[in-house]
């Protein structure tokens, strides 16, 4: 069957979300940008902003929900659920008290997936707040990803937010890094000692992908990390040009690639997700 306005995937997501929330659907209006729908207010309670391509703060979703009208789910040995925030909070919006919990077992994965994504000039900014209970300490060089962007092109998968356990620094340390896989530059994570990945604390992570020079840049808690920036010719892979795909999907969550890791399961909380044509920053 052919659906002229909604993809099969999005139609399925709509039916699941309706069942969870009890919304009565009277019409399907696909095609408008997120900030033009729902009376000018994106789903999720994010403030209206014409620069936003996607926004989710989980405040308007029922606790326990693992899907939405706005995003899908991709998991293996993992799960997502909306929960009340624990502890003292993360310095985001006042009154915010719901987050997305991500849990995986072993080298499983669990991602919130923004599909049918499109950015002007194939360039965009992202922002997320995250608290990771524990990062891997084994095996050596254990590699993890929190943000992954894919699309049409040479097969490159872009990982603007990820990292690696590096056993050769001190007694071993987990470091944030930009990475890629699947394309001509190969599988690489360009980590930096200046960017330790600290467990048990909320961190605001921002990124930019700029197709003009195939650049990926990162900010941590509002501070730029210029030594982490990768470009067409400056990256951590094979000595060929790094070229961004034409993005159509952004995934945010957790994946660990090595089997039998320590610890053997991973818990993190996500909040204040935004994809935008302009830098969002950590103050809102």
pLDDT value, residue 92: 56
Nearest partner of 144 among 163, 130, 159, judged by Cα: 163
Burial class (CB in 10 A: 0-12, 13-18, 19+), 122: middle
Alpha-carbon 149 to chain mean position:
8
CA–CA dist 53, 56 (Å, integer): 11
CA–CA dist 52, 121 (Å, integer): 15
The b-or-e profile of 64-102 (16+ CB within 10 A means b, else e) is ebbbbbbbbbbbeebebebbebeeebbebbeebebbbbb
In this predicted model, what pLDDT tens digit does every residue of 210-259 receive, in sequence order? 999 999 999 999 999 999 999 999 999 999 999 999 999 999 999 999 99
Determine the 3-state secondary structure of 226 from DSSP. Answer: helix
CA–CA dist 117, 110 (Å, integer): 19
CA–CA dist 114, 130 (Å, integer): 17
pLDDT value, residue 47: 78
- pTM of this prediction? 0.84
Per DSSP, 38 falls in state G
pLDDT value, residue 46: 79
pLDDT value, residue 90: 64
On whether the CB atoms of residues 42 and 114 are closer than 8 A, the answer is no
The per-type count for the chain, helices as H runs and strands as E runs, is 1, 13
Low-confidence stretches of the chain (pLDDT < 70) are: 1-45, 87-96
Determine the 3-state secondary structure of 34 from DSSP. Answer: helix
The stretches of the chain forming alpha helices (DSSP H) are 8-21
CA–CA dist 14, 129 (Å, integer): 26
In this predicted model, what pLDDT tens digit does every residue of 48-70 receive, in sequence order? 899 999 999 999 999 998 888 88
């Amino acid at each position: 069957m052919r659906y002229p306005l909604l993809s099969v995937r999005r139609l399925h997501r709509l039916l699941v979300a309706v069942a969870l929330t009890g919304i009565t659907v009277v019409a399907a209006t696909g095609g408008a940008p997120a900030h033009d729908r729902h009376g000018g207010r994106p789903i999720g309670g994010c403030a209206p902003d014409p620069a936003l391509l996607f926004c989710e703060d989980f405040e308007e979703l029922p606790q326990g929900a693992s899907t939405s009208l706005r995003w899908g789910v991709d998991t293996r040995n993992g799960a997502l659920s909306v929960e009340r925030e624990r502890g003292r909070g993360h310095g985001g919006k006042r009154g915010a008290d719901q987050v997305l919990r991500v849990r995986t077992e072993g080298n499983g994965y669990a991602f919130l997936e923004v599909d049918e994504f499109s950015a002007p000039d194939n360039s965009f900014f992202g922002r997320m707040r995250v608290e990771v209970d524990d990062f891997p300490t084994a095996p050596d060089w254990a590699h993890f990803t929190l943000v992954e962007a894919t699309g049409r092109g040479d097969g490159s998968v872009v990982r603007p937010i990820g990292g690696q356990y590096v056993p050769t620094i001190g007694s071993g340390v987990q470091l944030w890094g930009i990475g890629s896989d699947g394309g001509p530059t190969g599988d690489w994570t360009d980590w930096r000692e200046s960017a330790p990945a600290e467990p048990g604390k909320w961190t605001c992570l921002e990124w930019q992908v700029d197709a003009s020079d195939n650049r990926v840049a990162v900010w941590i808690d509002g501070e730029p990390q210029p030594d982490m920036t990768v470009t067409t010719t400056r990256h951590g892979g094979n000595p060929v040009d790094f070229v961004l795909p034409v993005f159509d999907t952004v995934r945010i969550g957790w994946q660990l690639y090595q089997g039998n890791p320590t610890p053997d399961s991973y818990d993190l909380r996500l909040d204040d997700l935004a994809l935008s044509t302009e830098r969002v920053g950590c103050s809102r």
